Amino acid sequence: MHARMKKGIVIGFVLYLAFFLFFFVMKKDQKFSPLENRALENRPILEKEALFSGEFTASFETYVADQFPLRDEMIAIKSNIERILGKKDRNGVFIGKDNHLIQDFKKPDMNLLKKNMGYIETFAKVLPTYVMIAPTATKIWEEKLPKFADPYDEGLVLQQIQKQTTSAHFVDVLPVMERHSEESIYYKTDHHWTTRGAYYAYTAFCQAYGIEPLSLDQFEIEQASTKFYGTLFSKGNFTFVKPDTLEIFHRDGEEQVSVYDLNANEMKDSMYERRFLREKDQYGVFLNQNQPLLILRTDVANGKKLMVVKDSYANCLIPFLTAHFAEIHVMDVRLLNLPLLDYAQAEGISETLILYNVQNFSEETRLSLLKY
């Protein structure tokens, strides 16, 4: 009986191995994982140098892990088992109340923060500059965090930034976000604020700038997608979390806005790149993801030109600003190598807006482009 059982186990293992090898060899390699929002390793080419250096072995191990049969199904099973066992965090993402995914935040490098504020303050002495550093859901929805979670307080960082803002104008968006914290102002599966959250931040900018914001009832709200799975979902493979709804706020006159993409040398007649709604990164619908330099031209006849130095939090807020400026020059310094003051003076820029979320701003190393 014992020998028969051993024989059965061996046969079962051989059959499993044969199935695995057959499936692995016959199946077509997957180039991209929608679940993880990343490119997968392709079959490495066997070359003598790569073999002896160990590069081939490392690449092949990654390839096997990435192309493992039924991989996404295995990831989903693992995710659900961990949830059943009560695990409340994964890869720096907390599983909060009602399955809200909220990213962790470690204490930032205060010297880097001080250096960045120095660049901004020097720049602001030459060109009027507004600084909007946005809190994330980590701060606004901190009551949704699991009990053990202890992220660094974003409010303390915002206080430091505000204290160091003297020449520039600090746009305080924390109060308005806290007032509307019961609304869907951040995504459940993504680290960005929603378009509604961006709208409230836009009203804070208008107050600081001294203009009247458009009211909510002046927008037609489009549910562009009801199946948006964002960056935090991909980071932790939280397959049990329901998708977000992604909205676009339309206003009268927005069809007059043209967008020039310097990198692609292409003019577009819309701020929304709708092909992204059919892809994993649906947030890319706003301004065609992150581009080095975009120039938005509107039908506003006031001659004002705003330069926005930003991260992706700005992408869904900038469309609101097109109601108030003749031109908006959108700069992503992470993708750009251009002295910003030289550019601003050459283009006749009248004001600058620095717009980041607090976590990205705390890690930004390219604001030296503000130097002159």
Query: What are φ and ψ of residue 138, in 5° steps?
Result: -55, -35
Our measurement of the distance from residue 314's CA atom to the centroid of its chain's CA atoms, rounded to an integer in Å, reads 10
pLDDT more than 90, % of the chain: 72
Task: Enter the pTM of the model.
Answer: 0.82
Specify whether the CB–CB gap between 241 and 188 falls below 8 A. yes
Distance separating alpha carbons of residues 321 and 305, to the nearest angstrom: 11
Output the CA torsion 39→225→203→298 (10° steps).
80
136 touches 105 (CB < 8 A): yes
- Report the alpha-carbon distance of residue 175 to residue 155 in Å, rounded: 11
Neighbours of 215 (CB within 10 A): 9
User: What gap in Å lies between CA 102 and CA 145, rounded to an integer?
Assistant: 7
Report DSSP state, residue 116: H
Do residues 370 and 340 make contact, with C-beta atoms less than 8 angstroms apart?
Answer: yes
Closest residue by Cα to residue 304 from 323, 326, 320, 322: 326
pLDDT of amino acid 274: 97
Q: Give the residue from 222, 254, 246, 268 showing the smallest Cα distance to 321.
A: 254
pLDDT < 50 stretches in the chain: 35-38
pLDDT at position 239, please? Answer: 84
Contact in structure between 293 and 331 (CB atoms under 8 Å): yes
pLDDT score for 70: 57
Q: What is the DSSP letter of 240?
A: T
Q: How far apart are CA 318 and CA 180, in angstroms?
A: 20
How far does the chain reach from its first CA to its final CA, in angstroms?
Answer: 84
**Cβ proximity of 74 and 68 under 8 Å:** yes
- How much is the pLDDT for 6? 65
Angle, vertex CA 316, rays to CA 230 and CA 363, nearest 5: 70
Q: Which pLDDT does position 182 carry in this prediction?
A: 97
Four-CA torsion 78, 83, 85, 86, nearest 10 degrees: 150
Residues 6+ apart with CB under 8 A from 207: 213
Query: What pLDDT shows up at residue 50?
Result: 53
Residue-wise pLDDT for 336-369, tens only, equals 999 999 999 999 999 999 999 999 999 999 999 9
